[in-house]
Amino acid sequence: MSEHLTSHAWRGTDNLTGSLVGVRVLDLSRVVAGPLCAQMLADHGADVIKVESAQGDETRRLGPPFTEPGQAAYFSALNRGKRGICLDLTQAKDQQVIRDLLSEADVLIENFLPGTMEKWGLGYESVLSDQFPRLIYCNISGFGKSGPLGGLPGYDAVLQAMCGVMSINGGAASGPTRVGVPIVDQMTGYTAFSGVLMALYARNKTQRGQRVDATLFDTALSMLVPHGLNWMTSGVVPDLIGSAHPNIPTYDRFDVGDGQMFLGIVNDAQFVRFCKRIDREDLCNNPLFETNSQRMANRHALREELALALKSFSRAQLCQSLMEAGVPAGPVNTVAEAMQQPHAKARDMVIERPDYRGIGLPIKLSGTPGQVGRRPPRLGEHNDEIIQ
């Protein structure tokens, strides 16, 4: 280890918990997918050092709202549990800091344009795989290095458009519509997270690291379930269907007396129980609606019947009654209503501390549970701690 680093650059494992305690992660990524992947690793015990330029991760500025001056809530959602340093990777001395950190690191995550790390003398195949044979190198990009679009930049909404996600989201009035959360970025973060865990597991057997290649393009196409296979099988191009399901007519949003609810009826038994609960047993006894195929063939007539039948119910009362009968149903909540549900608190999905507020861990392990770590780092906050 060179003069640039103290002997305490990486944390010890004393008093840490989680399934990934002892794993050391260098997070060079920005925006959503890479930082989310690194945050999930930190949530489960990994020691994560986030490296930023002097300008900082773009999400620091994507406000309001801001959790503190210069730090948007957007950044706080993706960077807890990390320590942060500020480097200029165009400079040889800071490139050396990266190499020094990698001498004891297990994982590197980056989402620069393909070729950027090579330009800095930090390419995986050309340099790092030989110098650090146990390193797991996770690169996240829009399209990967190869193919007609290789090396091009990509952002969530652009990939939603290019990969058909927007074409099946929205209705006649709205036209193709972006999903309201950065779903491709987030799913790519989960894809990268899964790849890193698989590579760590494989390293236990091979003693060697490997490249984990996660792209927004591949992830977005993989999300086309069942629409992609429906088209490959039938040749029919999926169309905009609003909140409806292309294969299940009773899997949709419906108006009730005081708002909206979503029904999740996927089989005949659930449909029968539903009809009984709304006092419309005539519907499940009607030959037009007895099976899913028949309900699909007559979906418009069925929807008209349900629209009339549901007018007299309140969403809270009806959803509770249906769920008690084993029929999946839920109110269409606002974000505020969703976050304030008692079940969200019971599942530890709302974190409220004096120094940090955020969303809890979706992965819960019984023997080695993760936990929400330190608040997100301020820009360059830990330079003195990590770099001499």
Quote the crossing angle between the two packed helices 33-43 and 183-206, to the nearest 10°: 50
Tokens of 40: 């999930």
Q: Considering the domain boundaries, does residue 371 fall inside one?
A: yes
Query: What DSSP string runs through 257-289?
Result: TTEEEEEE--SHHHHHHHHHHTT-HHHHTSTTS
Q: Residue 5 — very low, low, confident or very high, per pLDDT cuts 50/70/90?
A: low
The answer to the question of residue 148 being in a domain is yes
Q: How confident is the model at residue 4 (pLDDT cuts 50, 70, 90)?
A: low
pLDDT at 11: 86
* Residues 217 and 258 reside in one and the same domain: no
pLDDT at 1: 46
Would you say residue 287 lies in a domain? yes
Residue 217 sits in the same domain as residue 290: no
| pLDDT tops 90 at residue 8 | no
pLDDT at residue 134, rounded to an integer: 98
Q: What is the pTM of this model?
A: 0.93
Share of the chain above pLDDT 90, in %: 93
68 and 176 fall within a common domain? yes
| Tokens describing residue 179 | 């999903």
**pLDDT score of 17:** 87
Catalytic option among 43, 100, 106, 185: 185
Query: Taking 80 as the threshold, does the pLDDT of residue 212 lie above it?
Result: yes
Domain presence at residue 136 = yes
Query: Among residues 203, 86, 195, 83, which one has the least CA distance to residue 139?
Result: 195
Domain span at 164: 24-223+365-386
pLDDT at 7: 52
Identify whether residues 370 and 301 lie together within a single domain.
no
Task: Say what the alpha-carbon torsion angle 265, 328, 335, 176 is, to the nearest 10 degrees.
Answer: -10
> Is 100 designated active site?
no
Nearest to 219 by CA among 145, 156, 149: 156
Residues 6+ apart with CB under 8 A from 38: 25, 27, 29, 48, 50, 79, 82, 109
Would you say residue 6 has pLDDT above 70? no
93 domain-assigned: yes
E-assigned strands of 157-219? 211-215
Tell me the average pLDDT across 48-61: 97
Q: How many CB atoms within 10 Å of residue 104? A: 14
Is pLDDT of 106 > 50? yes
The pLDDT tens digits of the residues spanning 159-170 come to 999 999 999 999
The structural domain count of the chain equals: 2
Shared-domain flag, residues 165 and 288: no
Mean pLDDT confidence for 273-282 = 96
Residue 228 lies in a domain: no
Q: Are residues 33 and 171 in the same domain?
A: yes
Residue 285: CATH number of its domain: 3.30.1540.10
Residue 172 has pLDDT above 50, yes or no: yes
Structure confidence at residue 228 as a pLDDT band (50, 70, 90): very high
pLDDT per residue over 344-377, tens digit each? 999 999 999 999 999 999 999 999 999 999 999 9
Q: What phi, psi does 157 have (nearest 5°)?
A: -65, -35
- 157 and 270 within one domain: no
In degrees and rounded to multiples of 5, residue 56 shows phi and psi of: 80, 165
End-to-end CA distance of the chain: 12
- On whether residue 236 sits in a domain, the answer given is no
Assign residue 200 a region: left if phi > 0, alpha if psi is -120 to 50, beta otherwise?
alpha
Whether 188 and 286 map to the same domain: the answer is no
Q: Which of 121, 108, 99 is nearest to 2 (CA)?
A: 99
Distance (Å, whole) CA 125 – CA 95: 17
Domain final residue, candidates 287, 314, 332: 332
- Quick one: 175 and 73 in the same domain? yes
In a domain, 167, yes or no: yes
132: pLDDT strictly greater than 70: yes
My answer on whether 112 and 206 are in the same domain is: yes
Q: In this structure, are 190 and 289 located in the same domain?
A: no
pLDDT in tens, 290-312: 999 999 999 999 999 999 999 99
CATH of the domain at 378: 3.40.50.10540
Cα–Cα distance for residue pair 223/277, rounded to 1 Å: 34
| Residue partners of 170: CB distance under 8 A and separation at least 6 | 176, 177, 240, 242
Flag whether pLDDT at 13 surpasses 70: yes
| The pLDDT value given to residue 358 | 96
Could you tell me if 165 and 277 lie in one domain? no
